[in-house]
Amino acid sequence: MSRAEDILKSHGLRSTEIRREVINQLLNVGKAITHQDMETAMPKADRVTLYRTLTSLQEAGIIHQVVDDETVKKYALCGGGCSQDHHHDNHVHFKCTSCGDTRCLENVVIPAVNLPKGYVMESEDLLVQGVCPECA
């Protein structure tokens, strides 16, 4: 059984070709990529099926959206322990200002934020920008 099949099985999703392809693509590139990047890498996949696949993988806790300074959504694999009920990818994302790659820094946790009374946090994202080791 492949790693993609293991991931799908552990999240209770049926293993389909497009789901395995998306997961394998994310495993292979090791960084956050856009819908368009995936579409280019998987020319057999149509846009709507790919969009639906990304949505189902996100809802299952397999992938998460990465927020950076671009208007295009990027996706990355979740770390272990995310589920349909709870994404807990409370980590920093790093965008290289030289090559443009955005990566999850799984071991760098977003510091606690104490909001003023009356504010209710729904999500938190932290983007750090600079030069990655490959470009330094």
* Tens of pLDDT, residues 55-82: 999 999 999 988 777 778 888 888 766 6
**What is the C-alpha separation between 88 and 93, in angstroms, rounded?**
14
pTM listed for this prediction: 0.83
Residue 67 in domain: yes
Residue 106 has pLDDT above 90, yes or no: no
Residue 104 in domain: yes
Residue 18 in domain: yes
Binding residue numbers for Zn(2+): 96, 99, 132, 135
| Mean pLDDT across 95-105 | 92
Residue 136 in domain: no
Binding residue numbers: 87, 89, 96, 99, 132, 135
pLDDT at 80 (0 to 100): 67
86 — pLDDT class (breaks 50, 70, 90) = low
Mean pLDDT of the chain: 89
pLDDT at 112 (0 to 100): 86
**What is the C-alpha separation between 126 and 124, in angstroms, rounded?**
7
Residue 135 in domain: no
How many domains does one find in the chain?
A: 1
Torsion angle, alpha carbons of 22, 28, 31, 36, to 10: -40
| Domain assignment of residue 66, given as a range | 3-130
Look up the CATH number of the domain holding residue 41. Answer: 1.10.10.10
Binding residue numbers for Fe cation: 87, 89
87 — pLDDT class (breaks 50, 70, 90) = low
